[in-house]
Structure 1
Amino acid sequence: MWYLYGLTILAGLANAVQPGQNAALSKSFGLPVTAAVVILFVSTGFMLLGGLAFGKLGVPSWQQMAEVPWWGWLGGCLSVLLILAQLYAAPSLGAASFLGIVVTVGVAASIVLDHYGWIGFQVHPASLWRVLGAGLMIFGVGLVALT
């Protein structure tokens, strides 16, 4: 299980670097939405290669697709939202403010999702410590964004 922490750390690093890379692509093209499409094509290509390399790529059956809850299909839409925010907001806000806001809002929303067990998560009550931690993150992002 330790490798999952390593993967998560790498994802955190990618999350900090990716907005700058995506914004550079957008600036070079002069067309943010075109850049977003290119980003998604590159992502799809790497996902296909990785899936093939690790033997984790397959075609789901119609029954499997029918069993997906309606909200399970919306993850791709949220990826587009995140990419567009990287292209439009990150260059103006800066890397620290942008990522701080994204992560902090994500943690606060995750506490609610965990508390109610929404969208497939196991229930993890919103304890005083979790809520206090989110509050401290909001305070910290405020400090980062104001300087």
Structure 2
Amino acid sequence: MWTLYALAIAAGISNAIQPGQNATLSKSLGMPITAGLITLIISATVLLVGGLAVGKLQIPSGPQLAQVPWWAWFGGLFSVLLILTQLYASPAIGAATFLGIIVTVGVATSLVLDHFGWVGFEVHHASVWRVLGAGLMVIGVALVALF
């Protein structure tokens, strides 16, 4: 289990660094959409090479494809939204405010997803303490953004 926490920590660090990298690529090229496409191509290439290297890349069967819920196919749209937001918003509002908003809104949204068990998550009810924690995050991000 500790390796999953380590992986989540590494993803959090990456999440803080990536907007600056993507925004710099966009600014250097002067072409935000092209920069976003390059980012996605690099991501797809890394997944392809990594999947081949560890022998985990497989083509799903027709029945496997048919059992996927309709909403599960749209995760890529959210990736594009995140990348475009990194390109346009993060340079303007700064890394701390940008990441604070992304993480805090993500936690608040996750409370709802957990509470109702939506989009494949197990039900974890939104207790007073969980809601209070999310509220404190909102206050913290407001302080970061204002000062």
Q: 1:54 and 1:99 mapped to 2: Cα distance?
A: 32
Task: For residue 68 of structure 1, give the secondary structure of its aligned residue in structure 2.
Answer: coil
| Shift of residue 49, structure 1, vs aligned partner | 1.1
Shift of 1:44: 0.3
- Give TM-score, length-normalised by structure 1: 0.99
Q: What CA distance in whole angstroms lies between the structure 2 residues aligned with 1:58 and 1:134? A: 39
> Amino acid of the residue matched to residue 30 of structure 2?
G
Counterpart of 2:39 in structure 1 is 39
Which letter does structure 2 place at the counterpart of 1:109? T
- TM-superposition CA deviations, 1:16-45 (whole Å, max 9, x none): 000000001000110100000000000000
For 2:16 and 2:123, locate their aligned partners in 1 and report how far apart those are by CA, in whole Å: 29
Shift of 1:83: 0.2
Aligned residue for 1:19?
Answer: 19
Indicate yes or no: 2:59 matched with 1:59: yes
Question: Which residue does 1:117 correspond to in 2?
Answer: 117
* Residue 142 of structure 2: aligned partner: 142
TM superposition score normalised by structure 2: 0.99
Aligned to 1:73: 73
2:112 is paired with a residue whose SS is: helix
Partner of 1:3: 3
RMSD: 0.5
How far 1:6 moved relative to its partner? Answer: 0.8
Q: After TM superposition, list the pairs within 5 Å mapping 1:90-105 onto structure 2.
A: 90-105=90-105
Q: C-alpha offsets along residues 73-126 of structure 1, whole Å, 9 cap, x if unaligned?
A: 010000000000000000001000000000000000000000000011000000
> Match for 1:127: what amino acid?
S
CA distance in 1, matches of 2:58, 2:43: 17
- For the pair 1:83 / 2:83, whether they are aligned, the reply is yes
Q: Structure 2 unaligned runs (5+)?
A: none
Unmatched tracts of structure 1, length 5 or more: none
Counting aligned pairs with the same residue, the percent is 66
Which whole-Å CA distance do the structure 2 matches of 1:11 and 1:110 have between them? Answer: 17
Counterpart-to-counterpart distance in 2, 1:98 and 1:19? 9
Aligned length: 147
Give the whole-Å Cα distance in 2 for the aligned partners of 1:51 and 1:131. Answer: 38
Shift of 1:60: 0.4
